[in-house]
Structure 1
Amino acid sequence: MTLRGLVGTAFAVVLALSASAQSEDGPMARILSFSDLLGWESDTHQDALEVFLNTCDRIKGREWPQVCALAQQQSNAKTFFELFFRPVLIEDTAPPLFTGYFEPELSGSRVRTPTYRHPVYAMPRDRAVRSPYFTRQDIGQGALSNRGLEIAWVDNAVELFFLQVQGSGRIKLTNGTTIRVGYAGHNGHNYSSIGQELVRRGVYTEHQVSAQVIKNWVKRNPIEGQSLLYSNPSYVFFKERKRLKASAGPIGAMSRSITPMRSIAVDPGFVTLGAPVWVEKDGQAPLRRLMIAQDTGSAIKGAQRADIFYGTGDQAGDVAGRIRDTGRMIVLMPIQLAYGLEEKSEQ
């Protein structure tokens, strides 16, 4: 029994882990104690509880509604997590990896001008009947022109590229207003890293590549830069989030706003969306914090893989773009699920 594909049901995840715990190639699960979590005592658990409450009513699985109801009655967040959850370390063969993401802010216009000439496209109606759809190069060369799909026009092709990588963002228009856009779908082509393409071309080493390095290189090399962007055939379409308040974070995979430094994107084949996850990220800026799995991403694959949401704007983007660290993440499972996992693992 494999773990991949058992999305959204914590009980199914437990069964899958239990069945594969005896396989050399399958994922492994081990129940820990809270004393095993580095930095657990010093975290601000109330902040994590508030983020958990934002989406706990949307968690799939028969054990979660009761846990969510109990969470709403708690005055001591740390005690709540320790009473009703158990930490479970889930590992597969892939090495642990933490990266960061953010909500970009772009400059744009509702109409095309010589400055604002790169379109932010809505989902084409014929995408559903054509798979895969036009490539990034096809679209960049006009495959969707004159179809009325433009939400706005922006002034920078590489910033638009990273808006697509992040999946949501803000566009400040020439009249001073700001619109919010969110992920609506993609063209059906697999994502290919342009950072890795620069490494392959011998332009940079793997440790030199970051979002800012890529942006600067494309700016200095506009012709080769366009070719670099086209090397990723995947293309993301957007929809305007008209009801999303300016103070709210972007919408995550659970259709609710996510929170800077408390929300993470995970692989839902291993981690139930909405579950608390203890993060122990190493690197130059170590992080020990309880976060909530409220988002996903096409590049987020594996039991020990997470993308940390750093917030909105250039400053958050500068930090997020440098994150590529090891460490470990521990899922907090409702206590009855953890005990069931323990019992099956011992059989």
Structure 2
Amino acid sequence: MPEAEAASRLAAQARLEALSFKDLDSWAEDDHAAAFKAFLRSCRALDSSAAELRPAQSPNRELLAICRKALEHENLPRTEARRFFETHFQPFAVVPHSGRGFLTGYYEPEFLGSRTPDSHYKVPLLARPDDLVTVPQGQTLPGIDKGLQAARRTAKGYEPYPDRAAIEDGALGPLAKPVVYLREPGEAFIIHVQGSSRIRLTDGSVMRVAYAGRNGHPYTSIGRVLVQRGEMDLETMTLAKLMGWLKDNLGPARELMRQNQSYIFFREADELAPEDGPIGGAGFPLVPGRSLAVDRGLWGYGLPFWLEGDLPFTLDRSEPLRRLMIAQDTGSAIVGPARGDFFFGSGEEAGIRAGLLRHTTRFVVLKPKARR
């Protein structure tokens, strides 16, 4: 999306209040060196002279100039990293015209799976179909509703892509090509929500799957639907509790999951090393605790965000969140100027913490200072 259009959309949804770094609670105590390392990953992707990867949209010119300065350093100590951000960026509080900032968490789950189906492994993750066309942010295609973000290419033109229920009922026909098979529909659904996974195969090896596209239909939180129906209480809901409900109520769970019309397609990410995080929307491995998913229609990849809120350990225990993070991913549920998704990492512990995070949070964007 063009920068001017994104700025116009942002102004319609929020105002930006200029701050000083002294206004940021516990700013000096954060590990700015860790944030700088994550920032360098974005910079390598943004700078075409420094990496093969290229972002989905042209970066802000001021941000690109700052990135090129950052790339002169492999790493910076904490104090120097803090000085770098303070020198090159100006903090602005993001104040939505309605509501408050809201932060959730996500992670890379790990499940058992098989490359071939059998009586235990029969729930597929599908590869991106050849007829799927992604609609660029802010654009439309002939015959496609403005709210849809993908379409199906046919001999007669474009048509809306099948929703989750239709795909599960076989609407893709021979275009439905499984990447891997899982045990439970609920496991596949969680991977759809998270956008990536580690799959421990029957031969003991680990397969990584990454996001490859979506059918373009809107995302619906099934956890919110369960709360609205009175099946669960929001204050005590956890990811483990949700997954247990999906496993123990297969018939109702199938109907519930179909309330989310969005459907995700995957690819095998065999380029990833075991120590790498999953691939984010910006095209490179995410950094646990420093990568933030944002609304891609409002914010560009690579922007630093300062967050002030709480990070839960359990339902009744949390720690203060005062952290500099970098916009490196997006998601269909991440919509709005002060809406983010905190990447916790991989595995069970990360999943527990990700499932607990759904808190109001103060968002402060660090905007590049204009070059003089």
TM-score, normalization by structure 1: 0.87
Change (3 A) 1:318 1:292: same
Of 179, 202, 215, which aligns to 1:151? Answer: 179
Partner Cα distance (1:123, 1:286) in 2: 40
Which residue of structure 2 aligns with residue 99 of structure 1?
A: 104
Give the number of equivalent residue pairs: 325
1:325 aligned residue? 359
Alignment equivalent of 1:290, drawn from 309, 324, 332: 324
Alpha-carbon contact 1:199-1:206 (below 8 Å) kept = yes
Per-residue deviation, residues 38-78 of structure 1 (Å, max 9, x unmatched) = 11111111111011011124440111222112213354101
Q: Name the SS for the 1:286 alignment partner.
A: strand
Distance 1:183 1:334 in 2: 30
1:199-238: per-residue Cα shift (whole Å, max 9, x none)? 2222123323332221111222222122211222221111
| Of 171-180 and 52-61, the range deviating more from structure 2 | 52-61
1:62-141 to 2 correspondence within 5 Å?
62-74=61-73, 75=76, 76-92=80-96, 93-127=98-132, 128-129=152-153, 131-141=159-169
**Alignment-derived partner of residue 37 in structure 1:** 24
Amino acid at match of 2:21: F
The answer on whether the counterparts of 2:44 and 2:71 sit within 8 Å (CA) in structure 1 is: no
Which residues of structure 1 form unaligned runs of 5+? 1-6, 340-347
Residue 49 of structure 1 aligns with an amino acid whose one-letter code is F
CA contact (8 A) 2:295 2:331 kept: yes
Q: Distance in 1 between matches of 2:44 and 2:64?
A: 7
Following the alignment from structure 1 to structure 2, what is the Cα–Cα distance between the partners of residues 336 and 14? 16
- Separation in structure 1 between the aligned mates of residue 217 and residue 331 of structure 2, nearest angstrom: 14
Indicate yes or no: 2:369 matched with 1:335.
yes
Select 1:315's aligned residue among 349, 360, 364.
Answer: 349
The reply on whether 1:200 has 2:201 as its aligned counterpart is no
**Aligned positions of 1:215-294 closer than 5 A:** 215-282=243-310, 284-294=318-328
Is the CA contact (8 Å cut-off) linking 1:131 and 1:187 kept in structure 2? no
In the superposition, the TM-score normalised over structure 2's length comes to 0.82
Alpha-carbon distance between aligned partners in 2 of 1:173 and 1:213, rounded to the nearest angstrom: 25
Q: Would the alpha carbon gap of residues 58 and 144 (structure 1) be closer, same or farther in structure 2, given more than 3 Å must change?
A: same
Matched-pair contact (CA < 8 Å) for 1:104–1:314: yes
Change (3 A) 1:131 1:205: farther
Structure 1 range deviating more: 266-275 or 322-331: 266-275
Q: Which residue of structure 1 aligns with residue 51 of structure 2?
A: none
Q: What's the offset of the Cα at 1:83?
A: 1.1
**Residue-by-residue CA offset, 1:254-295 (whole Å, 9 max, x unaligned):** 101110000000113333211111111236332111110101
Q: Which of 37, 44, 49 is the aligned partner of 2:36?
A: 49
Which structure 2 residues correspond to residues 184-195 of structure 1 after superposition, within 5 A?
184-195=212-223
Q: Partner amino acid for 1:63?
A: E
In 2, the alpha carbon distance for the partners of 1:121 and 1:268 equals 24
Q: Show structure 2 runs of 5+ residues with no match.
A: 47-58, 133-151, 312-317
SS at match of 2:299: coil
The 3 A distance-change label for structure 1 pair 8 and 87 is farther
Superposition deviation, residue 94 in structure 1 = 3.0
Question: In the TM superposition, what whole-angstrom CA distance separates every residue of 1:63-117 from its partner, at most 9, and x where no partner exists?
Answer: 1222112213354101111111111112222321010000011111111010001
Distance in 2 between residues matched to 1:271 and 1:36, nearest whole Å: 22
Q: For 2:18 and 2:6, locate their aligned partners in 1 and report how far apart those are by CA, in whole Å.
A: 14
* More off after superposition, 142-151 vs 48-57: 142-151
Q: Are the structure 2 counterparts of residues 149 and 207 from structure 1 closer, same or farther at C-alpha, using a change threshold of 3 Å?
A: same
Letter in 2 for 1:149: K
The CA RMSD over aligned residues, in Å, is 2.1
Secondary structure of 1:163's partner? Answer: helix
3-state DSSP of counterpart to 2:319: coil
Q: What letter matches 1:335 in structure 2? A: K
